[in-house]
A and B are shown apart, each in its own frame.
Chain A
Amino acid sequence: MAINTIRILTRLRFRQFFRQKNKGLVGKIIIVVYFWLLELLLFFMLRKEGITDFPPLLVAGICLGFIVPDFLLKLIFEHDQTVMDAFIRTRPISQSSWDRFLSVSQFWKASNLSMPLILAPACLLFMPFRWGLVTLLVLYLFSVFGGFLVMLFKHKGNYPLEKQVSAKAGRSFRQGSGHHVFGIQSRSFLRSKRLKTSVFVLTGVFFFQFISQGFAEIGRFDSVFLTFTILYAAIGLSQWGLSIEANFFCGIWTKPIPVHRLLEDKFLFSAFLGGVTALVAIPFCYWFKIPLYAPLAYALFNAGVGILLIMIDAYKCMPFDLFGKTFFNYQGSSSTFKGSAFLALFVVMIIPIVLPHILPEWAALLILAVIGLAGCVLYRPYFRWVERQFLKNRYHYMEKYLSK
């Protein structure tokens, strides 16, 4: 009986996975292929340098070392998978069958397969075949075990409706508190655990790296982690485009709210987040003897180039389910990967990292600040242009918003 239930649930899960328009899957495939290409590139570059012998134990150790970030990523980003959604709860499925299904499903869960998949070329190219195969198998088993642990760790068992989020300030009528559309940005950010976690955690990780590196090499200016710290807070939010507004776009469209206002406010709020991280970074820059204008230059570049570029097609999105938690409800969570945002992100992060290496430090930072400032000055006409692109094909995009 239990095996039959597990079989039915597995079939249901797979059908759902493959039959819904799964842009998230496309995104994951792109990321895996991207890492495969990097590994191949590294392999051939090393061969060209005459390095052909790679100590298998060392390579295996490095590959297995990825178990830790794999586990941490799952711990940070995964939600309680043990929650039955309304459909499952109302079927004759016993708790024990459900628990078994959840345990078994760890073996084919995408997040448990992704790290072994990403590292497959490295294992097979840099090690003898048997070593590589065994390393991959161990990596896979550890990843499955990690997934299982995360499932247990995140288990709360509450059906989402039972857990109500309250607004602390919502008891009294808030008069003229400047809601308008800016409030949409700040409140959606602060009240959605999913959104907040994704932005805060990665910003925190980059900040930690920046500080660790700063302590280790006082006086030496390396732009990588400072750039990531300042850029990610803003870009992590703006990369979603209008995914949040897509949830209630009918309510927006039927009111006298121009789309460019939504975009402008998202830009301002994202730039504000970048500005806050830059301000937090300033005392550390002083401590690490990094020029104090560096974080400011990055914050300006972040706002005037990074966010604008990321939001160039902000309207091409699916609704982002701010409160999504249940196992079978993947809508709006994994289906919002945008290739253009990924590309823009790549460009935006590369420029401020590379520029200080090819130009004198002051000149690089000056250039970043000036082009950033120019972007900041031009953001209004820019978003009016983006709005016009949206309006040209608005029904197509609005239909997608309605498809949640």
Chain B
Amino acid sequence: MITLSNLSKQYNGVSALNIPELTLEEGELVGLVGNNGAGKTTMMRLMLDLIQANSGFVTIDGKRVDQDDAWKSFTGSFLDSTFLIDFYTPEEYFGFIGEVYGIPQAEIQLRLQHFETLMSGEILGTGKLLHNFSNGNRQKIGIIGAMLIRPRILILDEPFNYLDPSSQIVVARLIQEMNRDLGTTVLVSSHNLNSISDICGRILLLEKGNLMMDKSHVPGSMDQELEAYFLDAVK
């Protein structure tokens, strides 16, 4: 279980996030939506202890993430390219992850087979360094790196960015499978309402750092309320 308590973050006196209370239950697949600057990435960075909160804290299994490193051993995450080691090949990068988490290399190879559709023959065996891959393929490598450890908690920021439509569908399916088959708690942010509506059982809407909506959702259906909210915003 993940809890956010009185969590706030300000940049130069401007509030970037302000969440009084939020709980993500074990096994939930939660979508995080909001316009640019809504605070989605800030929230994820705070959850991963990458930045300091001005007040409040995040706990995972009752332990504060900024005081106890236990969460690192079962949390997979990919927010942006600062998660990738540019001078590694994909094989080396996945091998590195395997070693860090104590997963045998043979097992890593086995697990990678599960991502063959996503990699579509463009990632393994190319001899290229991550630095030289396209943004789309770097995105895929980052997502696979986060999922490879079969995490109990998976946090992905805009995983559908840079991906072609087919790959977006594959990623959505992989996230859903991981949540369903392994019981992984997933928090995924996106600007794409369709992608979120397709897979998430709960949707959070952030606006200027505030949690405007927290609602249950039936995956696969369109959320009229959510669409109306964004339509109103541009009127």
Contact = CB atoms under 8 A, between A and B. Distances in A.
Given A183-B96, A322-B87, A395-B52, A171 B125 contact: yes
Interface in B47-83: 48-52, 69, 72-73, 75, 77, 79-80, 82-83
B92 A170 contact: yes
Interface in B119-134: 124-129, 131-132
Contacts of A256: 69, 72-73, 100-101
Given A165-B132, A180-B96, A256-B101, A170 B91 contact: yes
Size range of the interface on B?
35 or more
Most chain B CB within 10 A, of A173, A184, A256, is at A173
Q: Which of A249, A256, A399 has the most CB of B within 10 A?
A: A256
A324 to B, nearest CB: 11
A375 B27 CA distance: 49
B95 interface: yes
B100 A170 contact: no
B143 to A, nearest CB: 13
A254 B72 contact: yes
A161 to B, nearest CB: 8
A402 interface: yes
| Chain A contact residues, majority secondary structure | loop
B99 interface: yes
Contacts of B73: 256
B190 interface: no
A286 interface: no
B83 A250 contact: yes
Contacts of B83: 248, 250-251, 254
15 contacts: A170-B129, A171-B127, A172-B91, A173-B91, A173-B95, A173-B105, A175-B95, A179-B92, A179-B99, A248-B84, A248-B86, A249-B82, A250-B83, A256-B69, A257-B100
Contacts of B137: none
Nearest to B94: A173
Contacts of A399: 51
Given A187-B92, A254-B77, A256-B69, A175 B106 contact: yes
Contact of B127 (A166, A188, A254, A255): A166
Contacts of B86: 247-248, 322-323
Most buried by A among B51, B79, B85: B85
A398 B51 contact: yes
B8 interface: no
Given A173-B91, A179-B92, A191-B87, A255 B132 contact: no
A44 interface: no
A254 B101 contact: no
Contacts of A402: 50, 82
Given A180-B100, A249-B82, A166 B128 contact: yes
Nearest to B142: A251
Given A250-B82, A254-B77, 8 more contacts: A165-B132, A175-B95, A175-B106, A183-B88, A254-B72, A255-B101, A256-B101, A398-B50
Contact of A323 (B50, B100, B126, B131): B131
Given A170-B91, A183-B92, A249-B82, A254 B129 contact: no
B92 A250 contact: no
Interface string B91-115: 1100111011100111001000000
Contacts of A249: 82
A177 B98 CA distance: 11
A238 to B, nearest CB: 18
A68 B83 CA distance: 43
A52 interface: no
A161 B99 CA distance: 30
A401 B82 CA distance: 9
B224 to A, nearest CB: 36
Q: What are the nearest 7 A-B pairs in CB distance?
A: A170-B89, A395-B52, A251-B83, A164-B132, A250-B82, A175-B105, A170-B127
Q: Count chain A CB atoms within 10 A of each CB in B83, B101, B124 and give the residue with the most.
A: B83
A216 interface: no
A266 to B, nearest CB: 15
Contacts of A398: 50-51
Contacts of A250: 48, 50, 79-80, 82-83
A173 B100 contact: no
Contacts of A170: 89, 91-92, 126-129
A192 to B, nearest CB: 7
Contacts of B127: 166-168, 170-171
A27 B50 CA distance: 29
Given A176-B105, A248-B86, A395-B51, A165 B95 contact: no
Interface in A151-177: 161, 164-168, 170-177
